[in-house]
């Protein structure tokens, strides 16, 4: 059963969630999320799709004042790092495909596919991913990492919390400071908490400038 504290009595409409999400850079320092709450948000976020369902995302959750202070200069002193309840380092596991046995095995246990099919899928997945050039593997991992990150931000908003994704950090320093092995690729940081000030409105390109039916325009 969900233990998340809903700020709304009813679940917000999906349109309110996607229109209400904004990058929030000022947080109410008095609002903290429990580790259980953060794990529940992550559980919903990880319902995101991933290539071959390999789910290569991993999350390093920084929720102590001391470690957030350590992270702040690595993220070019962005104030949301220390103000937010937690900062989630979204990582991609370059060896995540080894979990294919566990993933497909569980699907077989649940009756989603026959055991033999699960074994074949797992072997094939490990063989394909294991022989990919580094660049191709990383592209898949970044794509999956982006999908789960966006889902996490929407899930957080749906539960009344705010986020900001951050690419502004020194990845090498992050890996060194938090002893993150090279096996894991940093994808982005996501600050999570409750807004003290709403994110500022932003514009979007008109859809007719970016969407084309059936044929792309010639390059200018
Ligand atoms: C990959 C990525 C990296 C970003 N890096 C930062 C960052 O380092 N610091 C920051 O304040 N905002 C960062 N942003 C937030 C964007 O500025 C923001 O999403 C954009 O201006 C649109 O605003 P909105 O999120 O409120 O719709 C980043 C967004 C993305 C998707």
Task: Look at residue 10 in the predicted model and tell me its pLDDT.
Answer: 67
Indicate whether 7 pLDDT > 90: no
Determine whether the shortest distance from the Cβ of 167 to ligand 1 is under 6 A. yes
Split at pLDDT 50, 70, 90, the class of 9 is low
The answer to whether residues 22 and 198 touch, using CB atoms and an 8 Å cutoff, is yes
Each residue of 65-124: pLDDT tens digit? 999 999 999 999 999 999 999 999 999 999 999 999 999 999 999 999 999 999 999 999
Q: Pick the atom of ligand 1 nearest to 80's CA.
A: 11
What is the Å distance from ligand 1's center to 77 Cα?
A: 15
pTM: 0.95
Which of 54 and 3 is assigned the larger pLDDT? 54
Q: Pick the atom of ligand 1 nearest to 149's CA.
A: 31
Structural domains of the chain ordered from first start: 24-95+133-197 (3.40.109.10)
Cα gap 185→149, rounded to integer Å: 14
Task: Look at residue 8 in the predicted model and tell me its pLDDT.
Answer: 46
Which of 18 and 7 is assigned the larger pLDDT? 18
Split at pLDDT 50, 70, 90, the class of 11 is confident
Task: Look at residue 2 in the predicted model and tell me its pLDDT.
Answer: 46
Indicate whether 12 pLDDT > 90: no
CB atoms within 10 A of CB 117: 13
Out of 165, 188, 198, 205, mutate this one to test ligand 1's pocket (max ligand atoms within 8 Å of CB): namely 165
User: What does pLDDT average to over the chain?
Assistant: 95
Indicate whether 208 pLDDT > 60: yes
Out of 23, 27, 156, mutate this one to test ligand 1's pocket (max ligand atoms within 8 Å of CB): namely 23
Task: Look at residue 220 in the predicted model and tell me its pLDDT.
Answer: 81
In the numeric block, the tokens 């070019």 are attached to 76
Mean pLDDT of 123-148: 98
What is the Å distance from ligand 1's center to 111 Cα?
A: 41
Neighbouring C-alpha atoms within 13 Å toward the C-beta of 57: 30
CA 64 to chain centre: 20
Task: Look at residue 36 in the predicted model and tell me its pLDDT.
Answer: 98
Determine whether the shortest distance from the Cβ of 88 to ligand 1 is under 6 A. no
Out of 147, 162, 166, mutate this one to test ligand 1's pocket (max ligand atoms within 8 Å of CB): namely 166
Q: How far is CA 210 from CA 22, 150, 176, 203, in A?
A: 21, 20, 40, 14
| Ligand 1 atom 17: residue of nearest CA | 23
Which residue, 55, 88, 58, is CA-closest to 192? 88
Indicate whether 1 pLDDT > 50: no
Task: Look at residue 39 in the predicted model and tell me its pLDDT.
Answer: 98
Indicate whether 62 pLDDT > 90: yes
């Amino acid at each position: 059963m969900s233990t998340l504290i809903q700020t709304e009595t009813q679940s917000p409409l999906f349109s309110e969630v996607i229109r209400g999400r904004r990058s929030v850079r000022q947080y109410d320092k008095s609002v903290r999320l429990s580790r259980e709450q953060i794990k529940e948000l992550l559980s919903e976020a990880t319902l995101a799709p991933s290539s071959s369902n390999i789910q290569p995302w991993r999350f390093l959750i920084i929720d102590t004042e001391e470690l957030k202070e350590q992270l702040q200069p690595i993220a070019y002193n962005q104030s949301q790092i220390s103000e937010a309840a937690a900062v989630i380092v979204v990582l991609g596991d370059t060896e995540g495909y080894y979990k294919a046995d566990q993933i497909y095995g569980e699907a077989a246990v649940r009756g989603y596919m026959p055991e033999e099919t699960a074994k074949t899928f797992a072997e094939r997945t490990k063989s394909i991913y294991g022989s990919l050039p580094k660049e191709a593997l990383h592209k898949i991992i970044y794509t999956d990492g982006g999908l789960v990150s966006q889902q996490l931000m929407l899930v957080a908003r749906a539960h009344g919390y705010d986020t900001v994704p951050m690419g502004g950090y020194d990845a090498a320093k992050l890996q060194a400071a938090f002893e993150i092995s090279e096996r894991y690729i940093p994808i982005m940081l996501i600050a999570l908490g409750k807004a003290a000030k709403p994110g500022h409105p932003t514009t979007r390109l008109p859809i007719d400038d970016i969407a084309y039916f059936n044929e792309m325009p010639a390059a200018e």
